[in-house]
Amino acid sequence: MSRYRPRTLALELAMTAAALCVAFPVYVLVNLALRPASDTSSPLTPTSSPTLDNFRQAWEQGALGGALANSLLVTACSVAVVLAVSALAAYPLARVTARWSRGTYLVVLLGLVLPFQLGALPLYQTMRDLGLLGTPWALVLYYAGLQVPFTVFLYTGFLRALPRDFEDAALLDGCTPLKGFRYVVLPMLKPVTVTALVLNTVAVWNDFFTPLLYLSGSGQQTMSVAIAGFVGQYVTDWNLVFAALVISVLPVLAVYFALQRSIINGFAGGLRG
């Protein structure tokens, strides 16, 4: 029977402190989002008269309905394209041992080294020539190219650690390489797929610079740009800002709770692997 030791107490105290550090900004966010504009007390003081009117005003004044729809569209399409392209590209890069495979892999990894600011101007001109400026599809195309190198890196490293026995057996039974990947390899990629899904979703959803650049001057905007619109040069209604932030966080939380079991199992499977 295990005994309660000082080391266990220290670990519990450290975990409690970490939980408080995470919970503190969430408390301030929700507290100020529910606070009326007339309340000028400290952000740490619990709101005595909470109100939901801030959410209504933020939704109407910031046109958050269209911004939320654009963010959902861009994030879903971008992540789907990134996962599909990266998984299919990483499979031959991890399994083929020819010299061209290693060279191609190193070229893909250059996307991790080169700063995206170097391509901001030529990419903007390319989007303009394609007639995509001011549309969410410009963002989908941009994120698909930006996130693929990192996701290919994740998939390739995971695939190299997987045994080839099941694939070889499938090929001997008459499966084509594509069918072997679809029915044998892809189910085994669930842990790294969940990891890539979470990382790419957070990166795309929270990006501010790219939507501001490609959607500037149009009626389209994403949640991050719409929230920034509440911050003025002389006057800023922080209660509406925090209410809009809560609205922006809710879809991500909803997806997380809906896929919580798969996400936890995916991370746990990756750790066991």
CA torsion sign for 232, 234, 235, 236 is positive
How many CA atoms lie less than 13 Å away from 272 in the CB half-sphere? 9
pLDDT digits (tens, 9 = 90+) for 35-91: 888 877 888 888 888 888 889 988 988 888 999 999 999 999 999 999 999 999 998
Residue 261 pLDDT > 80: no
Per-residue model confidence (pLDDT) at position 235: 62
Least confident range from 19-28, 36-45, 220-229: namely: 36-45
Going by C-alpha positions, the residue among 12, 63, 5, 46 that lies closest to residue 244 is 63
pLDDT given at position 233: 58
Per-residue pLDDT, 273:
47
| pLDDT range class, residue 106, cuts 50, 70, 90 | confident
Q: Kindly tell me if the per-residue pLDDT of 129 is higher than 50.
A: yes
pTM value is: 0.83
Q: 194 phi and psi, to 5 degrees? A: -65, -40
CA-CA distance, 75 to 73, in Å (whole number)?
6
d(CA 199, CA 151): 9
Residues 6+ apart with CB under 8 A from 263: 194, 198, 256
Does residue 87 sit in helix, strand or coil? helix
* Mean confidence (pLDDT) of the chain: 84
> What is residue 273's three-state secondary structure?
coil
Q: What is the pLDDT of residues 235-249, one digit of tens each?
A: 677 888 899 999 999
Which tokens belong to 57?
């005003």
Question: With 50 as the cut, is the pLDDT of residue 271 above it?
Answer: no
Half-sphere exposure of 53 (CA within 13 A, CB side): 7
Check residue 84 and give its pLDDT. Answer: 93
- Decide: 31 and 41 in contact? Cβ < 8 Å: no
Give the pLDDT mean for 142-169. Answer: 86
Reported as a single tens digit per residue, the pLDDT across 161-210 is 888 777 778 777 777 777 778 888 888 888 888 888 888 998 999 999 88
Q: Summarize the confidence of residues 95-103 as an average pLDDT.
A: 79
* Contacts of 64 by beta carbon, 8 Å cutoff, 6+ apart: 58, 223, 226, 244, 247
